[in-house]
Structures are given as C-alpha cells and as structure tokens.
Amino acid sequence: MYSTLKGHLRTLFPKPLKDDPRDYKDIPAKDLKLEAYPKTITYDDLSDELLQSVCIYAQDALIGILGHGHSGGIYACDFFTNAHKLSYPTSVGSCFDMLLDIVFKVQHQLHFVYKQCCDTTALSGWRDCVYGNGVGGSGWQCNRLQCPNQKADQSATQKHNQTCTQKCDQTVSCGLKSPLQSFLEDGLQRFLPHHMTKVGCGVKCSVGSHRGQPCKTPMGFSDISVTASHVKKGAHLAGVLDNFCGPTSHLSRLCRKLNCLLRRAPQTLGDMLAFYHMFLYEWNGQGRMHRQDAFLQAVNDAMFGEQYGKMDVVSIQSSRTHTEKHSKGDLFSLVDCHTSPTVNTPVGSCGPYLESISNDIRRTFSEKRAGSYLSWIVYITETFYDLLKKLYDECNKCCGTDKSKCRVAKCAVNCKVGKESSTSDHDDSCNAIVNCSYTTPTLFTYGFVHGDALILAGKRSKRTCRDFCTALGKVISDKISDESPLAKLIYEIIPEYIWAIRTPFSYLLLALWSLSLLYLLHITVVRLDVLRIRSHLRSPSSHRIAAHSLLAVAKVGKIGNVKYFSP
C-alpha cells in the first residue's frame, strides 16, 4: 500500500503542460512540482523525504512517550508489527483520506503538548512535569501533591504535611502528580478529547458540528502508568517532539505542503487566524510574488481584467510595531506587539496572547492558488469574526467582568493599571494570564496556545486575562467610531468589491427585465400590428383586434391553428 500511496501523491501536482495527455505514471518525477513560497514543492520531496521520514520519526515519538518497553507493556520493536491490529484501507483513495485526516489530527494534539512542554511551571507549562511509569494524574498545573505507593525518588526539600486520617503508607517518599500524565491519559479536566467512531473521509465525532472548534483527538495512552518503561520530564518529551512535530519537523512540513497542494481551506478559528497571520505577515517582504502580487492579480482577474485598488485586506494586520491601529483592533495586538522594531515589549492592552497551533502548517503559499486565497478571504472573514466574538464572549464571561468566576482576573489593590491611563505595567502581585484556569483551556478548545508566555508573565510586560478581553474586544468591535479594521473589511471593503463584480450583470439584468415589462405593458393596451409584430393566427381578422380580445371564449378555438415564421 505504501508504494501505491506514493503513486497517488503524483495526482496532487499539476501536469507540466496544460493539456498534457500523458498519464501521471508516465511523467518524470522531476517534472511534478508546484512553485511556492518559501520553497518549491516537489514530488520527490513529498513522497521520499517527508512521508517516509514522518513514519520513521513516529517511532521516536512513541519511544519518547512510552520508552523502549518492558514485559508489562509493549516493546518498541512492535511499533512496526501492527501489534494493535490497526485497520488499513485497501483502496488507495480511502487510505489517502485516512492518512490526511490522521496527520493533521496528530500534528494538532502533539504540537500542543510540545508547546506546553517548552514552558516551565512558573509559566503554567509542563516542562518540569513528570510522566511515565507509576506517575499519577493531577490538575492542569504542575504541583507538589503527594500520592501513595510510588517510586521514592523525591528530594529532601519536600514538606511532610500528612494528617492523622492518612494511611501509614502515605509518606513524603511517594511520587508526584502530573497534568502532563493526565493529558496523555485523556483525563485532564477542561482538556478532555472528543470521542471518535470513524477517521478519514466522513470522520464521525461525538461533538458533531464543531462550529469553528478543532476536533480533539484522544492521545490513547490511558494505561501509560503501567505500560511505560521509564519516568521522564516534559523537557525530555519537548526535545523528542521538536524533531517530530516542531516548527521545522517533517510532520509540520508535510502538513503545510498538503495544505497548499490540496487548497485545504481554514476550518477552525485557530486555522483561520493562522492563515490570515501567515498570509499577511511581511506583506511587502519575501514571497511577495506568491502572496501580495498573486492576490492582487486574482482580485483584478475577478473583475475581468480591470484594475481594482480598494481590496485592502492587509489593513487588518499592518505592522507588529505598535501604532494607533493596534489600539483600534489590529490583529497584531493579539499576536505580536512591539514597542519598536528593536524592543519587543507590548504597549497598552496589546500582547502576544495568541499563537495558533496551525501556525507551522500555514506557511506555504503558491501563486497558482491565489484564486483560493481570494475566495477564502471574501467568504470566510465574516465567519472568522463570528468565532472571535464567540471566543470573546466565553473569556469575558469568565474573566472580563467584576462578577466573573476567575480568581486571578482582578488586579492587586495597589496596581496602577486602569487608574493611570499612561501605564500598562502591572504590580508584581497581579496574576498573569498564564495562571488563569479558564483562559488556557478555552484557548486550547479553539486551537490556540499562549503566544509568548515569558512576556505575558514578565515584570514589565505582564498581561492579565482581563487585558486579553480588552484587546480582543477592540478587534471585534463593530462600532463605526472605533474604526476596527476587521469590521471595516467585513462591512465595507468586501461588500464593495463583491458589488463591483456584480454591477455590470445587475444593470444588464435590470435593463432586460425593464424591457420585458415595458413590452408586456404595451401589448395589453395596443394592437400587435402597431409594433409590426405578426400574430401566430392565420385569420387576417386577428390583426384587427386587440391582443387581450384573443382570449375571449369565441376566439379560443382559432388559437389551435398556429403557424410560425410564415409570411
């Protein structure tokens, strides 16, 4: 099936010639390519390097999670023997659909684990969390809670705080609980996966319609505390996953190339933000031929070659250096705001709050796909706005009001933010957004992680979950006075462009209907001969009567004898 699947990958590429009669198997591999930015996509790169390497590095990822195996679990050598009796479709089309579905789901889940394991406990990351054999689960943050009857490898700095009700086997020498372990076991509250009954084409999920939220695939290591042969920390897993699903990994590169080849439209909120951010990033910089120039040409092509200069899509994300537009809702105010080109400290309520899990797989663009990019921007932007509004409503309900459930949203009493409009520096005792137990799970639900947790929790750049609600509220504002770039794109720029395309057809249709209406009105009051239009009736007397008189009962019988095109 592997060789057959490689042959199927040929059909994803355009043929060298427009009307090339050759079958794909007869076309040399070197001729199957798609010019793209940042690198041309070739068949050899896709089939030999990426697909094969993803299969090889998948074993390393499994070993990084479970270890090399022991008698009570599964040995690493069995990863290639299909010990779990996985089903592989015999149809190459079905097999490719399943592969496509799986690689994107695996990349999404493991990339989230990778990002969490890159941050320390102080940033609510899992870098210092343990996982593996004999480790217990816990809440979403690493902690020092104890549990009985586990391997004694603890340091002497831990406190002995047992109560009289505890059993005699509960000592300070027992192991740690870990949110990383809970996530791998599919048991971490607020990060629970969806139940799926089918993968591939026509995937079936317990959630049904996700409404812009990604499908969360179960990790599948429910018995890792027994089957794992080692105990490691998140830092170890981050290093392993960096090679498998990191920014430059084979899996991420495979996904981004498939996205470009298949014209896979953004489907979730995280996917949409990744597309807008990567497509508009450095709009006038590298890759301009495959992004800006190609997009503007597609805009003009839709206008039948006429120049149209009002499709200013880059207005929603102009520059990451803080300007007045950031205060009005530029997307950079949520993703990456800098005080200046050399100082990356955010200004006001802006901050690196969001990073889409799909960022690394939305980096490849081709001028051959410019029509698809235009179509996505025209028809998906309003959905993007609605989903951002939904995210805002959820976050604001938990953290943005005085009666919110969040315990870390409010600033300290002596904090000057909000009291002095000139400062955005929070007090040291204020809690950063990375410590919010509501925001992080909500962002995960929509396909996000924190953009830069170190900056968000920094002394001079600390941002709270309430700051995030403020910044997001500016982005989705639909008030004319707020001049939100996103609202302007949705309610002004795109409708004007669509109307400019439809204007000639609309006026032509109006003229034709007007002419038809005038003709119908005319023949109701004037004889047909006045317009030199001959009747279809043979009788000469029919030309001397009004048109409506032809419908009289006495005349109906004569209508049966009709003759067209006679002199």
N residues, the chain: 567
Report pLDDT for 551.
57
- Only one residue has tokens 């897993």, namely 237
Report pLDDT for 203.
66
For 388-426, how does the pLDDT look when each residue is reduced to its tens digit (9 = 90+)? 999 999 999 988 877 777 777 777 777 877 665 556 788
Report pLDDT for 92.
87
- Residue 170 pLDDT exceeds 50: no
Mean pLDDT over residues 9-15, rounded? 90
For 485-525, how does the pLDDT look when each residue is reduced to its tens digit (9 = 90+)? 999 999 999 999 999 999 999 999 999 999 999 888 877 76
Report pLDDT for 560.
52
Q: Is 37 helix (H, G, I), strand (E, B) or coil?
A: strand
- Residue 66 pLDDT exceeds 90: yes
DSSP H or E stretch at residue 471: helix 465-475
Cis bond before residue 38 (omega within 30° of 0): yes
- Residue 74 pLDDT exceeds 60: yes
Task: Name the pTM for this structure.
Answer: 0.84
The average confidence (pLDDT) of the chain is: 83
Mean pLDDT over residues 129-144, rounded? 78
For 29-57, how does the pLDDT look when each residue is reduced to its tens digit (9 = 90+)? 889 999 999 999 999 888 877 788 888 88
Q: Is the dihedral of CA 411, 414, 415, 420 positive or negative?
A: positive
The per-type count for the chain, helices as H runs and strands as E runs, is 19, 10
Report pLDDT for 419.
62
**Other Cβ atoms closer than 10 A to 239:** 14
Report pLDDT for 544.
58
Report pLDDT for 85.
82
User: Domain segments of the chain: what residues?
Assistant: 1-146+173-262, 269-416+424-498
Mean pLDDT over residues 360-382, rounded? 95
- Residue 239 pLDDT exceeds 70: yes
Region for residue 14 given its phi and psi (left: phi exceeds 0; alpha: psi -120 to 50; beta: otherwise): beta
Mean pLDDT over residues 183-208, rounded? 79
Report pLDDT for 167.
47
**Would you say 397 and 69 are in contact if contact means Cβ atoms under 8 Å apart?**
no
